[in-house]
Amino acid sequence: MTTDPDIDIVEGHLMIHSLTFGDVLRQNRRSHPRQTAVVSDTGERLTYPELDDRVNRLADVFRASGVSGGDRVVWLGQNSHRLLECVLAAAKCGAVVCPVNWQTEADELAFVIDDAEPGIVFWQSSELERKVAAVRERRDGGARWIQHDGAGADSYEGLLAGASAHDPEGYVDPNEPLLLMYTGAFDGRPNGALLSQTGIMLHGLVVANQTGINEEYVYLNCGPMYRMGVLWNTLATLHLGGTNVFVPRADPELICAAVERYRCMGALIMEPTLSAVIAFNEHAAYDLSSLRSRPGNAGWSAMTTPDPHHRPNSSSQYGQTEVTGLITTAAAGVAGLHGRPSPVAQLRLFGEDGREVAPGEIGEIAVRGPQIMTGYHRRPELNGRRQHDGWHWTNDLGRREADGSITFLGPRGRLIKSGIENIYPAEVEACLRRHPAVADAGVIGVPAADAGGQTLKAIVVVKPGMTTTPDELVRHGLEHLAGYKVPREVRFAPALPMKNAGIDYEALDREHGGGGYPGSRLFTTMTGI
């Protein structure tokens, strides 16, 4: 009994145990034949069989363009169902999709396109024509540029119309990358994390379990799809047979209209968009009651429905793009601020000496599991620093509490030495930021021979309209930290110097007399999902 003569025996044997997003789509066209998979930003509905046919045609375009296993495809556009189609076509071909941040400047976009070396760049004319022209001026190498929102034979829709909807169903290794997500310019340039199908799928199943994504779920893609924080929901919704609704960008009117019309249940809406949506809808012109929300914003709660999956007294979560998103899950009633490690990951904390630290002590967060990136694209040296000895090193500091839960403290950054004690500024800053009057805080070490190395100095930014005093902040520190971790000196400043979305410690040192740090590892990082 044969199903496809193209499948040879080795490939057939591998396929028996494999599962890719291509397979998920093949199954969903059968399991959910009438379900709406996609609502485009123009209101066009695609069922799962219709979506799968379009994805097959796009995969045919990929092949005709010479894009195959491991090759990159860049998406230089806003949110669109066509970006989801690109990801699914790549899943069927073994290609890798890189959705770039269209909001960044042309120079950085050109750098990313140069670094990704794509076989195809899908670009958008609407709202982005001038930026795309500026990028192409700098970088138009070997890639095929296809306009996704155009017409004509060479446009996305034109090419799909001329392609074959046949699905050859070849074997694709689910442990190979599907997404290339540029992130964290902590060494002065963005680096692209390669994320595997298996990792995205497992991460999505855990998220789906926690947030109730199932075949009845309707997800609004209004947050930026060049961030995993949106894409993991897009793909989990697809995986579980739900409906993805698309609007090109986080616009209050587009969001309100789509939520009301399609009864969307989930969406990533961050500030300042959240406040803009609340203000836009203050007279309840739109019915947003299908959206599930978590407590914290009275105005938002008033127009939405409490999320039945949210448990009171629930912790936050921790993650980074390099681990496909979240590596801890929210837990209720735990000591740690960031929940417990995901059931599909291992998480340990290691000290500067490479040994695992005891609960209550601070260490670098190291993780393991299928959702860890396969590596940064074209960064062998950096990969060696981030992945060795059986662990992925997050560059982030954390603490395991006595109940086994996790508190993320901040990027590892620098270490301050006071006597025999190691002090991580990130921990002290995190404590200061929890004071109600504090908007931000940076902590530096000041050379002090009498203290056996350095003493701590905090530079604090006070929230508008609030007041506090150095004494009050020292008392706050003594309440929550060991004595040696409490800054002896507190200075107020209108703002902190920033660099690469983190504190510019070198500038802070120069302005406030910092110095005397122990030798190594004086680099700053950031965590952005």
Q: How far apart are CA 2 and CA 317, in angstroms?
A: 47
Shortest Å distance, C-beta 182 to a second copy: 21
Shortest Å distance, C-beta 198 to a second copy: 8
Shortest Å distance, C-beta 3 to a second copy: 5
Q: How far apart are CA 286 and CA 279, in angstroms?
A: 12
Residue 299 or residue 351: which is nearer to a second copy going by CB?
351
Q: Could you tell me if 367 and 347 are in contact, meaning their C-beta atoms sit under 8 angstroms apart?
A: yes
Interacting residue ranges for a second copy, rule: CB under 8 A: 1-4, 7, 9, 11-13, 15-19, 23-24, 26-27, 30-34, 169, 175, 196, 199, 205-206, 208-209, 239-241, 340-341, 343-348, 350, 354-356, 359, 366, 368-370, 372, 374, 387-393, 400, 402-405
Shortest Å distance, C-beta 392 to a second copy: 6
Q: Residue 336: what are its φ and ψ, rounded to 5°? A: -70, 145
Q: How far apart are CA 199 and CA 371, in angstroms?
A: 4
Q: Could you tell me if 444 and 508 are in contact, meaning their C-beta atoms sit under 8 angstroms apart?
A: yes
The closest alpha carbon to 36, from 207, 292, 287, 264, belongs to 264
Q: How far apart are CA 37 and CA 244, in angstroms?
A: 6
- Pseudo-torsion of CA 245, 247, 253, 258, nearest 10°? -10
E runs forming strands in 391-519: 391-400, 406-411, 416-418, 421-423, 438-448, 453-462, 489-492, 498-499, 502-503
Identify the burial level of 152 via C-beta atoms within 10 angstroms of its C-beta, where 0-12 means exposed, 13-18 middle and 19 or more buried: exposed
Kindly state the helix (H) or strand (E) to which residue 229 belongs, with its residue range.
helix 228-239
CA 403, 439, 498, 496 dihedral sign is negative
Greatest Cα pair distance, the chain, in angstroms, is 83
